[in-house]
Structure 1
Amino acid sequence: MAQLVVCAPNFSEGRRQDVISAIGDAMSAQASLIDVNVNEEANRTAYTIVGAPDAVIEALMAGAKVAKQKIDMETHTGTHPRMGALDVCPFKPIKGMSPEGLVLCSRHFGRRLGDEMGVPVYMYEMSATHDYRKTLAQIREGQYEGLAEKIVKPEWKPDYGPACFVPSWGATVAGARPYSVNFNVNLLATKEQANRIALNIREEGRSSTQPGRLKAVKAQGRFHEEQRLVQVAVTIVDTSITSIHEVYEECLKDAKDLRVAVVGSHLEGIVPLGILISAADYYIKKDDLFISDEEQKVKLAIERLGLDSLHKFDPKTRILENIVGQGSCGPILSMQVRKFVESVGGRTYTPGGLTVAATTAALGAALGSMSGWMTFGLKKFQSVETNMRQLIPPLVRSTEELLNLMDASYQETASTATSVSGVDSSEIQVPLQILKSINKCWTSFLDMAKYASIACKPDMQIGAKSLETGAWAAMQMLRASTQDLVNVEQRSKITSEARGELQHCQDMCREVLKILDERV
């Protein structure tokens, strides 16, 4: 899966438009710049950039270089706490990034900033190296004015860069943070009633002896002047711990007890797609619905949460992946079919056999899910509707996995073609992952062969053989890669695992074809 990171660097400049624009232009040349929030009073600008980890780091470095030339902290004034020209730089995950990967990404940036620009860098939050300096408030205490004295103390030695005061720059704080959102639930009630609900759900509750029900949640009741209603104003500090639909459902419970009406909700700012998909999946399970299309899931989440109640929630402008053109499509998935085929046939190693293996398998999985869709919802196949509800989603997920592996295989082959350092682990892991992803299809494919419309029999036969062919092709590419492994034991272990995956695939293909041959 392609990786996406969002970063919100805050620079200590909010009054000189030429400097604000120069920093933004430098960063937008490397990654997607999706928001610029200028605060003249604070003399501070918060940018939001999105992209692959390496692209985001390059964008930050480009912006920092402009800031070093044009911002002088010795003359900086403003109402907001600050300690550096590039004051704080939080990294947040969007897609395909583990917490560990995000920490490594932020530390890589911190190291580069410190080494290449000669400025002090402190890591915070998930990337912190000491518990006593984990939060931004802890590190920024004393602000810029107190930094000269603070930085020379052993306990305040920067994580990267020089352990000395750089007057024109100050210091930068960077680190990985969980994704947080502001989510407000609308009520036809009094502010006091909204506050009662807030006290019930927020993590700190009413007191240390009366904690609230939801972790990683801050909340309070407030009056919305423009709309003439009240809200439970919620900040979810970590959406991986508590989701927006959990907040909404808990507010519904308490509102029912208080006999007040909930009239939708409001999700602030730009949000990752996964937040809405998670809500949709909850309501799909709760109401026994069958929806697998991403766009339809987003519509369901908007409707069930009442996100249109105050202002229209437009997925094109409010969902982060939509703004940056999904971000998940790499060089192969972005190609038109004709261009892809011509590229395979061109005088180049990429795309090559491994990408074709993943492509063939993805088409096989897609034919399996197509057979399910051509059966589902038709009255004459009502007896197998429950089967289709269970069989289609795994094949849709496997198709998506294999599509992502098409891009991963291209990137792996491209790096191999230019490498002189021997075998990289990705050269082995990508074909092995293709084999494993193919084998995830067979449980559903086997039953699909039994229950799907007989009109789809040839499609399922082609699909099964495509999966088998993709697996065979991935095995050939893996064998070629492992030939250069010096460690004989490692090579034997890897090839043995891959042979087992291929054998299982071939056995299941035969079983599927046998079932289909017997159907008339």
Structure 2
Amino acid sequence: MLLCCKLYISESRNHTALDSIERAARLDGETVIVNKFQDRAYNRIGYTLVSYIVHDSTGNIIYSPLQQTLLSMVEAAYEAINLELHHGAHPRLGVVDDIVFHPLARASLEEAAWFAKMAAADIGNKFQVPVFLYDAAHPMGKPLDIIRRELGYYRPNFMGNQWSGWDMPEVLSEKPDEGPTMVSRARGIVMIGARPWVSMYNIPIVSTDISAARRIARTVSARGGGLPTVQTLGLFHGEDSTEIACMLLEPNRIGADRVQKPGGDASSSRRAGC
């Protein structure tokens, strides 16, 4: 049985930091980085990791090499990156911003959720960062976007369209699922969840009109009455363009072709995102 983990880190410009994180990933050859998506404008990188799950003779989970690889990468990220010095055009709440587990092949969502909860306990305790669980890893299945909205994830704190440093309270009003309620300004908060496969899909727009990009994003999204199972953000992307960042929660039902069509007249191209 195979397990996938996507790890999103708030850094893409500091090559020394990225080299350190990727060296940590290579310490165990039993875990493979199958994809890396690096975005300089967003100052964000996404790693897709895959490994196997080991069970005992009765079918109970023993471990996966992914667990130690993930912890090593997280540790390297916290050692190399300071959120107070981070600046980018993509929202984020932490150096290690999001970790999501997906079951592959014959693995179950319950197994992915088990690993998510173990990772949350390990990261919260070892690195003393607040951890919020979401989707199948959360006791009530609370969605990621709801938690992010409660924590102010979607509100830019610099120039109306950028995220810079840390300007939130150091004591959280919401109790995390793991870790302290006190936030390190250098490390921030991490979200950890489990869900069926999700696709990220970004549509570049040849315009710097962020209001128009946000209107298009809302029109496409389920929240705005658009396509079901699609979440979107309108974001600046570089000096001369904006972008519709899309999360496809059920890509087999609503895929990239359906998302591209509403924004197609204004878009220049498309790309897998993070």
Identify the TM-score tier after normalising by the shorter chain: 0.5 to 0.7
Q: CA separation in 1, counterparts of 2:230 and 2:76? A: 37
Q: CA separation in 2, counterparts of 1:238 and 1:28? A: 31
Q: Find the counterpart in structure 2 of residue 109 from structure 1.
A: 119
Q: CA separation in 2, counterparts of 1:34 and 1:166? A: 31
Offset of residue 167 of structure 1: 2.0
Residues 59, 124 of structure 1: alpha-carbon distance in 2 compared, 3 angstrom cutoff: same
**1:91 aligns to 2:109 (yes or no):** no
Which has a greater percent of helix? 1
Offset of residue 86 of structure 1: 0.5
**1:174 aligns to 2:192 (yes or no):** yes
One-letter amino acid matched to 1:126: A
Q: Find the counterpart in structure 2 of residue 146 from structure 1.
A: 168
Q: CA separation in 2, counterparts of 1:55 and 1:9? A: 15
One-letter amino acid matched to 1:18: T
Residues 182, 160 of structure 1: alpha-carbon distance in 2 compared, 3 angstrom cutoff: closer
RMSD after superposition: 3.5
Aligned to 1:238, which of 250, 257, 260? 250
Q: CA separation in 2, counterparts of 1:93 and 1:102? A: 6
| SS of equivalent residue, structure 2 residue 66 | helix
Offset of residue 109 of structure 1: 0.6
Gaps of 5+ in 2: 54-63, 156-165, 202-219, 233-245, 259-269
Offset of residue 95 of structure 1: 1.6
Offset of residue 217 of structure 1: 6.3
Residues 32, 109 of structure 1: alpha-carbon distance in 2 compared, 3 angstrom cutoff: same
Offset of residue 164 of structure 1: 1.0
Write out per-residue CA displacement over residues 30-87 of structure 1, whole angstroms, 9 at most, x where no aligned residue: 3101222222222221111111252222111001111121111122221111111111
The answer to whether the 8 A contact 2:134-2:141 is kept is no
The answer to whether the 8 A contact 1:24-1:47 is kept is no
**1:9 aligns to 2:7 (yes or no):** yes
Aligned to 2:86, which of 72, 76, 90? 76
Q: CA separation in 1, counterparts of 2:247 and 2:42? A: 23
| SS of equivalent residue, structure 1 residue 164 | coil
Q: Find the counterpart in structure 2 of residue 417 from structure 1.
A: none
Higher relative contact order (CA 8 A, sep 6+): 2
Q: CA separation in 1, counterparts of 2:247 and 2:124? A: 33
Give runs of aligned pairs for residues 54-65 of structure 1, distance below 5 A: 54-65=64-75
Offset of residue 128 of structure 1: 2.4
Residues 139, 105 of structure 1: alpha-carbon distance in 2 compared, 3 angstrom cutoff: farther
Q: Find the counterpart in structure 2 of residue 32 from structure 1.
A: 32
Residues 126, 17 of structure 1: alpha-carbon distance in 2 compared, 3 angstrom cutoff: same
Residues 138, 179 of structure 1: alpha-carbon distance in 2 compared, 3 angstrom cutoff: same
Q: CA separation in 2, counterparts of 1:175 and 1:94? A: 15
Offset of residue 23 of structure 1: 0.4
Aligned to 1:118, which of 109, 128, 139? 128
Offset of residue 237 of structure 1: 2.1
Q: How many corresponding residue pairs? A: 207
**1:158 aligns to 2:150 (yes or no):** no
One-letter amino acid matched to 1:92: H
Identity %: 21
Residues 243, 132 of structure 1: alpha-carbon distance in 2 compared, 3 angstrom cutoff: closer
Which has a greater percent of strand? 2
Write out per-residue CA displacement over residues 318-355 of structure 1, whole angstroms, 9 at most, x where no aligned residue: xxxxxxxxxxxxxxxxxxxxxxxxxxxxxxxxxxxxxx
Offset of residue 111 of structure 1: 0.7
Write out per-residue CA displacement over residues 148-200 of structure 1, whole angstroms, 9 at most, x where no aligned residue: 24x1x2xx1111111212122111111012213479xxxxxxxxxxxxxxxxx
Residues 238, 17 of structure 1: alpha-carbon distance in 2 compared, 3 angstrom cutoff: same
The answer to whether the 8 A contact 2:102-2:109 is kept is no
The answer to whether the 8 A contact 2:12-2:45 is kept is yes
Offset of residue 114 of structure 1: 0.9
One-letter amino acid matched to 1:138: R
Q: CA separation in 2, counterparts of 1:87 and 1:79? A: 14
One-letter amino acid matched to 1:168: A
